[in-house]
C-alpha cells in the first residue's frame, strides 16, 4: 500500500477539526466523515448554516461560531461553496483545509485551493480521510490502493 502523504499525516494529527457540509441526513458523506474523524479521536465540530444540531451534537452556522481554536477544516460541500469556506479559514487563520473528493469533483474547487495556498493555508485538494483513519474499511483500503497505483493520492 502507498505510504501516507505527509500532508495527510499532518492534517490527521490535529485534534480540533471542523467539518463543513454536515447534514441532518446521517447517510450523507459529510456525516460519515464527521463520525469517522470523531471515532479517530478528533474533537469534531459540524458546520451547516441550516442545522442547529446534527447527530445529537451542536451544529454551527459558520466557522466563526465554532469555539476556537480550530486547527483544520474538512470541506464536504458542493465545490462552489468551497471558496467561501476557504476565505473564512483565511480570515480566522485556520492553517489547514482538506477538500473531500472520492469520485467526480467532490468538494474540490481549483479557485479555493489556489486562494488558500496564496494565503498560506496548507490545502489538500481531493481524497478522503477514511482512506487513512485506522482501521480503514475494505472499500477505502481498495480506494487508497487504486489511487496509489494511479499516483492520485492527496499530495
Q: What is the pLDDT of residues 28-40, one digit of tens each?
A: 999 999 999 999 9
Give the least confident one: 15-24, 45-54, 71-80, 143-152. 143-152
Angstrom distances, CA of residue 38 to CA of 67, 85, 111, 122, 123: 16, 21, 29, 22, 21
Q: What is the pLDDT of residues 85-121, one digit of tens each?
A: 999 999 999 999 999 987 777 899 999 999 999 999 9
Model confidence band, residue 9 (pLDDT cutoffs 50, 70, 90) = very high
Whole-number pLDDT of residue 26? 92
**98 contacts 130 by C-beta, under 8 angstroms:** no
Domains of the chain and any CATH numbers: 6-149 (3.40.50.720)
Q: What is the mean pLDDT of residues 135-150?
A: 86
Whole-number pLDDT of residue 150? 79
Model confidence band, residue 2 (pLDDT cutoffs 50, 70, 90) = low
What pTM, to 2 d.p., does this model score? Answer: 0.93
Whole-number pLDDT of residue 149? 81
Angstrom distances, CA of residue 74 to CA of 1, 12, 27, 149: 24, 10, 17, 25
Amino acid at each position: 500500500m502507498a505510504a501516507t502523504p505527509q500532508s495527510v499525516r499532518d492534517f490527521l494529527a490535529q485534534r480540533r477539526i471542523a467539518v463543513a457540509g454536515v447534514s441532518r441526513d446521517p447517510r450523507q458523506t459529510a456525516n460519515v466523515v464527521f463520525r469517522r474523524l470523531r471515532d479517530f479521536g478528533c474533537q469534531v465540530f459540524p458546520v451547516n448554516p441550516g442545522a442547529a444540531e446534527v447527530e445529537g451534537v451542536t451544529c454551527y452556522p459558520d466557522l466563526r461560531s465554532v469555539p476556537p481554536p480550530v486547527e483544520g477544516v474538512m470541506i464536504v460541500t458542493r465545490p462552489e461553496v468551497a471558496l467561501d469556506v476557504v476565505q473564512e479559514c483565511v480570515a480566522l487563520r485556520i492553517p489547514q483545509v482538506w477538500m473531500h473528493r472520492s469520485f467526480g469533483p467532490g468538494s474540490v474547487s481549483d479557485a479555493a485551493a489556489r486562494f488558500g495556498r496564496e494565503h498560506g493555508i496548507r490545502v489538500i485538494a481531493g481524497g478522503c480521510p477514511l482512506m487513512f483513519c485506522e482501521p480503514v474499511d475494505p472499500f477505502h483500503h481498495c480506494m487508497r490502493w487504486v489511487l496509489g497505483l494511479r499516483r492520485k493520492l492527496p499530495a
